[in-house]
Amino acid sequence: MLLQTTLCLAAAAAVINLWLSIRVGQVRHAAKVSVGDGGNEALTRRMRAHANFIENAPLVLILMGAIDLATRGANWLAVVGAVFMLGRVCHALGMDGGRLQALRGVGTLVTMLTLLGLAVAAILIALGKF
């Protein structure tokens, strides 16, 4: 069975992960820090944004894949996935601080609501209620 929605969202996650890696690398290069954060706050912020993505994206993708596999995804799953990915970009930009700092909270809220919503949907599907 082809899980088109999950495949597309996994591809989006891979691109976002690459983008986050590049952002970390840019600060590492500018600050001449090869390992760790060297006490550089900008590097710490970018590293945490990247790590936070890695901490959350796999759970979302697993839940999406399971829902997709249960053929309960339809169009709503793609929309939820797109909103999640946009939320992760917002979080990363907000982690830089400054005038975009409010985006961090937006991204965090989107992530939490996505995880909760997908978990509830998965339970309902497992119970035959969805």
The answer on pLDDT for 45 being more than 70 is yes
Class of residue 72 by CB neighbours under 10 A (exposed 0-12, middle 13-18, buried 19+): middle
What is the rounded distance in angstroms from the CA atom of residue 41 to the CA atom of residue 77? Answer: 36
> Which architecture characterizes domain 4-126 according to CATH?
Up-down Bundle (1.20)
- Structural domain boundaries in the chain: 4-126
Report the candidate in 5, 83, 89, 77 with the shortest Cα–Cα distance to residue 52. Answer: 89
32 backbone dihedrals φ, ψ, rounded to 5°: 55, 50
What is the chain's mean pLDDT, rounded? Answer: 95
Predicted pLDDT at 7: 94
Predicted TM-score of the model (pTM)? 0.92
Predicted pLDDT at 8: 95
Mean pLDDT of 112-121: 97
Residue 72 confidence class, pLDDT cut points 50, 70, 90? low
The answer on pLDDT for 97 being more than 70 is yes
Are the C-beta atoms of 69 and 1 separated by less than 8 Å?
yes
Predicted pLDDT at 112: 98
